[in-house]
Amino acid sequence: MSKLRGHSPRRSLAAAASVSAMVSLVGLTGTASAANGHHLAFAGQTLTVLDGAPSGAEASQTQAYYNYVAKVFHQQTGATLKWQYYSSPSEEVTDIETATVSGSGPEVISYGTSFVGTLWATGDFAPLSNADWNALGGKSSFMTSTFYDAGVNAAGQGITNPTAASNKLIGVINEVNPFVLAYNTKYFKEAGIAAPPKTWNQLVADGQKIQAKVKGVYGVAIDPEDAYDPWKNDFFYDAQLGGSKPWEWVSPNGKKINLTTPQMKKAVQFYFALQDQFHIAPPQSLSWNTADAASAFEQGKVAMFILASYGYQAAVKGTPVQNDLGFALLPSVPYGYSKLPAGGVPIETETTGNYFAIPKYVTGNLHSLAIAFDKTVVSPAVQVEQFKLLGWVPVTNPGIKAVEAVAPVTKPFVQAEEAAIPTSAAPVWSYVEPGVLSVMHNLGSYLATHGDKWNQSYADSQLQQAQAAAQAHA
């Protein structure tokens, strides 16, 4: 399932959510010990790493990345790297369960964000120690936000303070894919707009100005029918509106679901207001998915796209937009406000990425070799190469510095990820996310067939149904 933002089976949040619903006997983690200087000790050994199979539009680039990592790993350790692939979430679960139950299998296993809590609860993996992190360059060398999905807190719940010493961290991040706003710099210039919007008021106003100045162009693309995106828009806007931890649709203990707060209702309504109230999104976008919205942006039919990834840089090559692509942080002040309301959180993206973990059955010299692999994938050279091949944003300070030197355009992506907030780590999240997606799909269909007339009662009923359905699994 490869999309513009570089999703693969291991990176898709929705895939991770469905996996978490299926997993009950799986755990992912990493423990570390210094690996440098042991080249001779590793010579002749083989390390097996389980990860997503190269697929979709980026299959060849993903394979090139895997080959590159194997080459560098061999040069640094003298050992051979063997990739073992899964092609679906269910296959991943089967592979991991088989390995952990039998006590043998891949020495390193990848996992995506949003099911670290479920995996931690199995007890199949041990947390990293301070010595382990020192072997990887130290915690301070990694983006702070990446620790949200690297483990749990002392009570076994989702991490709320990523720098807390009591956190039990069970994964090593190797890449992130944050979301930003993509915009057409040519259209902004033609409309007399000097800079991309920083507030949602400005985004609406910019869209209206562009439509008035550039014939046949709409201000923004939305994609309410997409299988992954729409809930994220609500998640960000809900948090920006404030309240009591508005991003926690699931209570910290995972037992209470709340999708019907005033903030949530406003978040859902504003998303569709871009079309039915402000008319800066085309009417046909009510039935669009991400591919449809991206195509409209690439063809110059819309001026802005919310939730863009760095993959757009490659996607627009050969299109009318190839020389007019700009990236900026998403607006972080809700519509109707001049600043964040009380309790508002300026979320730019949810935490994203891929983590590597080491099962408990990997011990001794082979365990050290697994840590050498972790050190390889977070090295600046590999971080630069994976960025060149796939547009994956680096995760360590040295990696960020190296990538920004060759591609300054990555700065807003790094800024977005540094301020990212995680979704719930509770297993029930696997019902919450698809529930909100259903709400957005149903509302888009309703508006498309009812003359773009917003019906708050219908929207409320949809949110109530999604909340009740998820609550049944809490």
Mean pLDDT of 103-128: 83
Residue 114 pLDDT level (bands cut at 50, 70, 90):
low
Of the candidate ranges 28-37, 322-331, 404-413, the one whose mean pLDDT is the lowest: 28-37
The count of residues in the chain is 474
Alpha carbons 359 and 109: distance in angstroms, whole number: 8
Alpha carbons 299 and 319: distance in angstroms, whole number: 6
Letter for the amino acid at 40? Answer: L
Cβ(333)–Cβ(270) below 8 Å: no
Domain ranges of the chain: 13-177+352-418, 180-348+428-471
Mean pLDDT of 6-19: 33
Task: Check residue 39 and give its pLDDT.
Answer: 61
Residue 157 pLDDT level (bands cut at 50, 70, 90):
confident
**Which residue, 351, 352, 166, is CA-closest to 247?**
351
> CB under 8 Å to 364, separation ≥6 — which residues?
none
Cross-strand bridge partners of residue 74: none
Task: Check residue 117 and give its pLDDT.
Answer: 72
pLDDT tens, residue by residue, 273-287: 999 999 999 999 999
Task: Check residue 424 and give its pLDDT.
Answer: 85
Task: Check residue 198 and give its pLDDT.
Answer: 96
Mean pLDDT of 413-440: 90
Return the percentage of the chain with pLDDT > 90, whole number: 68
Mean pLDDT of 363-382: 94
Task: Report, in this order, helix, strand and coil percent for the chain, each rounded to 5.
Answer: 45, 15, 40
Alpha carbons 88 and 82: distance in angstroms, whole number: 19
pLDDT tens, residue by residue, 182-207: 999 999 999 999 999 999 999 999 99
Q: 32 pLDDT exceeds 50? A: no
Cross-strand bridge partners of residue 169: 151
Mean pLDDT of 371-380: 96
In three-state secondary structure terms, 3 is coil
> What average pLDDT is seen over the chain?
87
Task: Check residue 93 and give its pLDDT.
Answer: 77
pTM attached to this predicted model: 0.82
Q: Could you tell me where the beta strands, DSSP code E, fall in 341-406?
A: 354-357
Q: Do domains 13-177+352-418 and 180-348+428-471 have the same CATH topology?
A: yes
Architecture of domain 13-177+352-418: 3-Layer(aba) Sandwich (3.40)
Q: 311 pLDDT exceeds 70? A: yes
Residue 168 pLDDT level (bands cut at 50, 70, 90):
very high
In three-state secondary structure terms, 24 is coil
Residue 337 pLDDT level (bands cut at 50, 70, 90):
very high
Residue 315 pLDDT level (bands cut at 50, 70, 90):
confident
Task: Check residue 414 and give its pLDDT.
Answer: 94
Task: Check residue 382 and give its pLDDT.
Answer: 97
pLDDT tens, residue by residue, 77-101: 999 999 999 988 778 878 888 998 8
pLDDT tens, residue by residue, 445-457: 999 999 878 999 9
In three-state secondary structure terms, 229 is coil
Cβ(4)–Cβ(290) below 8 Å: yes
Of the candidate ranges 107-111, 267-271, 351-355, 421-425, the one whose mean pLDDT is the lowest: 421-425
Between 4 and 227, the higher pLDDT residue: 227
Q: 142 pLDDT exceeds 70? A: yes
Phi-psi bin for 6: left (phi > 0), alpha (psi -120 to 50), beta? left
Task: Check residue 75 and give its pLDDT.
Answer: 94
Cross-strand bridge partners of residue 142: 396
**Which residue, 258, 255, 241, 252, is CA-closest to 160?**
252
pLDDT tens, residue by residue, 221-261: 999 999 888 999 999 999 999 876 767 799 988 899 999 99
Residue 128 pLDDT level (bands cut at 50, 70, 90):
confident
Domain boundaries 180-348+428-471, corresponding CATH code: 3.40.190.10
Cβ(322)–Cβ(316) below 8 Å: yes
